């Protein structure tokens, strides 16, 4: 079975390629390297001992997509490629709509031309908007609070319409909660450009003395210790969720939507303290104002993924903290 992984040299894509290769799938990657490096391909090969076919290019380029489908008999596509920074999407919405929507539309058009109609799509918990009730279930109402979230919501709707028009498509929409951690080898991990927006990449830079302290955005939320609570999931568990999704549409036909999280929330302070404990390193922080747009708590109801996919996150918050830091130390 051959899987085309768009954005396969990125953070979640690279871990997913490893899990696919470990289970005997062949992997073809397309990535324009706008947010990743070519070396990731050889790291994936080093980890798995398997070869990967890499195409440098853009998913918006239909001619390149056609070439890939002509040269490879693709059975499944996992579509990670896209931009993902919320703040940047507010400043430059057109860039987000252009890349995220066009890449998906072009990809689906070419998949249809080649009669490859098995797709797994990276959505996000951001499509739940401001949670009214927790834990978040897949059938809760959806809303977008920024252009990035809007692109995810629009793509979910495009895929639902596509399936309604032609139910020979098999589609899995995965709503990720907060992926952190890295491969246990320390060879691949998350490498954001510039000053990170998300919590774990910021913590590792503080631990590494690249930034002086972490700004904790508010300690007056109605949570366990006043700081924001999120459902952190180890990226390797998340990656396995993609393999299970492929297995799902290989046996059951239709369109399916799943949350991928652990179902447990941890506060910012709990994460910082765990990170300090398992890595035996100080993380300096100060409390600052709340970040506009943040919610107090966000965590998944994971029952549907457990029952229908057989998905259950295995890694602990200690594993997540240890592996995130290991990658940074290995790649200093």
What is the contact surface with ligand UD1 in residues (CB under 6 A)? 86, 124-126, 149, 178, 197-199, 202, 214-217, 228, 230, 268, 291, 293-294, 298
Q: Does 33 bind ligand NAD (CB under 6 A)?
A: yes
According to DSSP, residue 289 is labeled P
Comparing CB distances to ligand UD1, the nearer of 157 and 168 is 157
Q: Does 136 bind ligand NAD (CB under 6 A)?
A: no
Helix (H) or strand (E) holding 3: strand 2-6
| 148 is a catalytic site residue | yes
Taking CB under 6 A as the rule, which mask of x and - marks residues 165-194 in contact with ligand NAD?
Answer: -----------x--x---------------
Judged by CB under 6 A, the residue of 19, 26, 31, 156 near ligand NAD is: 31
Distance of alpha carbon 75 from its chain centroid, rounded? 22
Q: Does 142 bind ligand NAD (CB under 6 A)?
A: no
Comparing CB distances to ligand NAD, the nearer of 284 and 330 is 330
The full length of the chain comes to 332
Single out the segment in contact with ligand NAD by CB under 6 A; choices: 56-64, 201-209, 214-222, 274-282.
56-64
**Cβ-count burial 253-292 (b if 16+ within 10 Å, e if not):** eebbbbbbbbbbbbbbbbbbebbeebbeeebebeeeeeee
* Percent helix, percent strand, percent coil in the chain, to nearest 5: 40, 20, 40
In the set 25, 83, 148, 221, the catalytic residue is 148
Q: Note whether 41 and 54 are within 8 A (CB).
A: yes
Q: Which does 7 bind (CB under 5 to 8 A by kind): ligand UD1, ligand NAD, none?
A: ligand NAD
Q: Is the dihedral of CA 264, 262, 124, 50 positive or negative?
A: positive
Q: Which does 122 bind (CB under 5 to 8 A by kind): ligand UD1, ligand NAD, none?
A: ligand NAD
Q: Which does 35 bind (CB under 5 to 8 A by kind): ligand UD1, ligand NAD, none?
A: ligand NAD
Alpha helices, DSSP H, located in 81-145: 86-91, 93-96, 102-113
- Least separation in angstroms between residue 244's CB and ligand UD1 is 21
**What tokens does 199 get?**
């919590």
Q: How many residues interact with ligand NAD (rule CB under 6 A)? A: 26
61-66: long-range contacts, CB 8 A cutoff, minimum separation 24:
61/106, 62/106, 62/109, 62/110, 64/30, 65/30, 65/106, 65/107, 65/110, 66/110, 66/113, 66/114
Nearest in space to 151 (alpha carbons), one of 212, 55, 86, 206 = 86
Give residue 127's region: left, alpha or beta (phi > 0; psi -120 to 50).
alpha
Comparing CB distances to ligand UD1, the nearer of 178 and 324 is 178
Q: Does 104 bind ligand NAD (CB under 6 A)?
A: no
Nearest in space to 327 (alpha carbons), one of 266, 279, 289 = 279
Single out the segment in contact with ligand NAD by CB under 6 A; choices: 53-61, 112-120, 255-263, 282-290.
53-61
Comparing CB distances to ligand NAD, the nearer of 99 and 274 is 99
Comparing CB distances to ligand NAD, the nearer of 284 and 323 is 323
Judged by CB under 6 A, the residue of 25, 69, 80, 202 near ligand NAD is: 80
List Cα–Cα distances, 283 to 209, 215, 245, 309, 318, in angstroms: 9, 11, 37, 37, 15
Residue with tokens 């890349």: 99
Q: Does 103 bind ligand NAD (CB under 6 A)?
A: yes
Residue nearest to ligand NAD (CB): 10
Comparing CB distances to ligand NAD, the nearer of 166 and 183 is 183
Q: Which residues bind ligand NAD (CB under 6 A)?
A: 7, 9-13, 30-36, 58-60, 80-82, 84, 99, 103, 122, 124, 176, 179
């Amino acid at each position: 079975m051959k899987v085309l992984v768009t954005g396969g040299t990125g953070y979640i894509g690279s871990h997913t390629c490893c899990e696919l290769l470990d289970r005997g799938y062949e992997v073809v990657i397309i990535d324009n390297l706008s947010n990743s490096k070519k070396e990731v391909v050889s790291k994936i090969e080093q980890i798995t001992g398997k070869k990967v076919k890499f195409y440098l290019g853009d998913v918006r380029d239909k001619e390149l997509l056609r070439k890939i489908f002509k040269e490879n008999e693709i059975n499944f596509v996992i579509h990670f490629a896209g931009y993902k920074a919320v703040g940047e999407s507010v400043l430059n919405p057109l860039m987000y709509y252009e890349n995220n929507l066009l890449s998906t539309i072009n990809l689906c058009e070419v998949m249809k031309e080649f009669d490859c109609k098995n797709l797994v799509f990276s959505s996000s918990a951001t499509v739940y908007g401001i949670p009214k009730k927790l834990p978040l279930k897949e059938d809760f109402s959806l809303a977008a609070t920024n252009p990035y979230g809007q692109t995810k919501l629009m793509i979910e709707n495009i895929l639902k319409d596509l399936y309604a028009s032609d139910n020979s498509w098999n589609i899995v929409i995965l709503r990720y909660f907060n992926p952190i951690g890295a491969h246990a080898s320390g060879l691949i991990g998350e490498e954001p450009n510039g000053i990170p927006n998300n919590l774990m990449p910021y913590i590792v830079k503080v631990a590494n003395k690249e930034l002086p302290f972490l700004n904790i955005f508010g300690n007056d939320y109605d949570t366990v210790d006043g700081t924001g609570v999120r459902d952190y999931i180890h990226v390797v568990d998340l990656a396995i969720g993609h393999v299970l999704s492929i297995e799902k549409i290989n046996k059951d036909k239709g369109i399916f939507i799943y949350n991928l999280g652990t179902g447990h929330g941890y506060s910012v302070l709990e994460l910082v303290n765990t990170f300090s404990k398992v890595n035996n390193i100080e993380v300096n922080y100060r409390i600052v104002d709340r970040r506009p747009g943040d919610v107090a708590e966000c965590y998944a109801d994971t029952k549907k993924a457990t029952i229908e996919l057989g998905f259950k996150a295995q890694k602990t918050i200690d594993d997540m903290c240890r592996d995130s830091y290991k990658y940074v130390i290995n790649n200093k």
